[in-house]
Structure 1
Amino acid sequence: MKYLLIFLAVVMLVALGLLALSFYSARVPEGLGVNEDGLADCPDRDNCVASEASAPGRRVPPIEAVGPENEVMDRLSSAVLDLGGEIAERQGPYLRAVFTSPLWRFRDDLECLYRPAEGRIEIRSASRVGYSDFGVNRRRVETLREALARP
C-alpha cells in the first residue's frame, strides 16, 4: 500500500508539472518575427530547427518556392492549416502559425519568410518550452516541405 501511494504521488507531481508547462507555453515568446537578418536564430536547445540557424545540427534547408507573393503565401497558409496549425499572423511575405499538441496542449511556433528574389521560403519551427521536442519540429518542417512540393 505504501508503494502504491508513493507511485500515485509521483504520477500526480509529474502531471502537475506537465500541466504547469502547458500553461507556460501559452505565452508568445519574445523575438518572433522578422528582424534585419531574417527570422530569429534557434536558442541553445534541441527543440528548434531553422533554415537560417547558426548551429548546423538545428539547420534545415529552406523550402523552394517561386511565384507571386500572394499565391505562394496562400498556398503556404493552406498547407499549414491542413497540417493542423493555426495562423497567428500573416503580413506580406511573413507567416507565423501555432501548433498545439493534443494531450498536454504544448504550443510550437512555425515562422515562414518568403524571399521571392531567392526563390525560397526561410522557415523556423520551435517549441515554446522544454529542451527537447523528440524531433517534432523537424518532422513538421519536412511534412510542410512535402505538402508544398505537391502540384
Structure 2
Amino acid sequence: MPLMSRLPDLIEFPALKRPARPNNCLVAPEGFTGMVQIDETAPVFDKTPKQVFNAVMDLVLERVEWRLRASDPDTLRISFIAVTPLMKFKDDVYVQAVPVDGQADRSSVAIYSGSRIGYSDLGTNAKRVKELLELIGTR
C-alpha cells in the first residue's frame, strides 16, 4: 500500500512502497522515487509544473470513468480512482508534477496506477499511465 502523506488520499512518491503483485505501474523521473524501481522513466514536457498539474486536473474532471479523490496545487499532487469499463474494478492513480532542475519552463511527472484487487491487471495500469502521459503532452 502506498505511504500516505499528511493530506488524505495523496502519497509521498519518494516513500512509495509498491506491492509485489504485477498489477501496478510506476513511471517517474530517475531518482524521484528513492530506491523503488520504476517501470519507465517519465518524459520531460515543455510545460511548467503548474501547467502539467492543471492538464491532469482537466483530464480527470473530463473523464467519466475517473473520479477525483484529492488534489493539492501547492505540492502539485492529484489522486483519483479509475473505474474499468467492463468489470467496474477500481484502480488508484496518483500523479505529481515534478520540476526539472534549472528549467522553470519544463517539467516531468510521477504517476502510479495500481489495482486494488487481483494479482494481474493484464496491462491495464500500464496502458492507463501511457495514455495519461500522451494526453499531458498534447495539452
What is the TM-score with the length of structure 2 in the denominator? 0.72
Taking structure 1 as reference, are residues 60 and 115 closer, same or farther at Cα in structure 2, changes over 3 Å only? same
5+ residue gaps, structure 1? 1-28
Aligned to 1:112: 95
Q: Is the 8 A contact 1:108 1:126 kept in 2?
A: yes
- Structure having the higher strand fraction is 2
Structure number, greater radius of gyration = 1
Change over 3 Å in CA distance of 1:112–1:49 after alignment to 2: same
* Residue of structure 2 in register with 1:128 after alignment: 116
Are 1:101 and 2:81 an aligned pair?
A: no
- Alignment of 1:54 with 2:36, yes or no, is yes
Identity of matched residues, %:
23
- Matched residues in 2 for 1:129 and 1:61: separation? 26
Q: How many residues align?
A: 119
Structure number with higher helix proportion:
1
Superposed displacement of residue 117, structure 1: 3.6
Contact 1:108 1:128 in 2 (8 A): yes
* Change beyond 3 A, Cα 1:120–1:82: same
Could you tell me which runs of 5 or more consecutive residues in structure 2 were left unpaired when the two chains were aligned.
Answer: 5-9, 28-32, 102-106
Q: CA RMSD in A?
A: 2.4
Counterpart Cα distance in 2 of 1:120 and 1:99: 22
For residues 132 and 82 of structure 2, the distance between their equivalents in structure 1, rounded to whole angstroms, comes to 13
Report if aligned partners of 1:38, 1:113 keep a CA contact under 8 Å in 2. Answer: no
Deviations 1:117-145 (A, max 9, x none): 44211110000111110000000011111
